[in-house]
Amino acid sequence: MVKLIICTHELCIKNFDGYYDDIIYVSANPRISHIRFETEFGSFRGADHFFKVVYVGDHGWGKELGTVPPPEIVTKTALRVKEKYPDKRKIIHYLQPHVLWIGETKLTGKDLGLSFNSATEWFLNSSKIGP
């Protein structure tokens, strides 16, 4: 029987149980970061498992959208990381499409009454919006 992994947190806990000093993880997903997240699957903090974690929300937050405006910012960040760390393996984690939707069918945090000015503010309030 094949069991589907349904969220990033579960994927990370089930696949990255050690420390990987040869991997840089670039992500638009705040659940792969320096913040420890607790869910029904367990506890995970990306910085404990990888040589470096680059969360693009730290420098690419779209204030108007209330999220990271992918994919361009993720791609630009990944290319910079590739240049800076040519000998490291990379995981590049794009996040959209995802709640919140951006583009032609736009539904932002502001539309839902969930407006955050930065990734840090999102981290501090993420328990209010669910997994």
Q: Per residue in 87-107, pLDDT tens?
A: 999 999 987 655 555 666 666
Note whether residue 55 is domain-resident: yes
Note whether residue 11 is domain-resident: no
* Cβ-contact 9, 3 below 8 angstroms: no
Total domains present in the chain? 1
Note whether residue 9 is domain-resident: no
- In sequence order, what DSSP letters do the residues of 15-53 get, joined into one string? H--S-EEEEEEEES-TTSSSS-EEETTEEE-GGGTEEEE
Residue in the block written with tokens 């000998």? 87
Closest CA to 67 of 129, 2, 1: 129
* Cβ-contact 26, 92 below 8 angstroms: yes
Main-chain dihedrals φ then ψ at residue 43, nearest 5 degrees:
-110, 140
Note whether residue 43 is domain-resident: yes
State the chain's mean pLDDT as an integer.
78
Domain that holds residue 86: 17-128
The pLDDT value recorded for residue 31 is 78
Note whether residue 2 is domain-resident: no
Note whether residue 113 is domain-resident: yes
The pLDDT value recorded for residue 113 is 66
Q: What is the pLDDT of residues 111-122, one digit of tens each?
A: 666 666 666 666
* pLDDT at residue 26 tops 80: yes
| Of 63-72, 80-89, 108-117, highest mean pLDDT | 80-89
At 91 the three-state DSSP class reads strand
Note whether residue 71 is domain-resident: yes
Average pLDDT over residues 76-95: 94
Note whether residue 12 is domain-resident: no
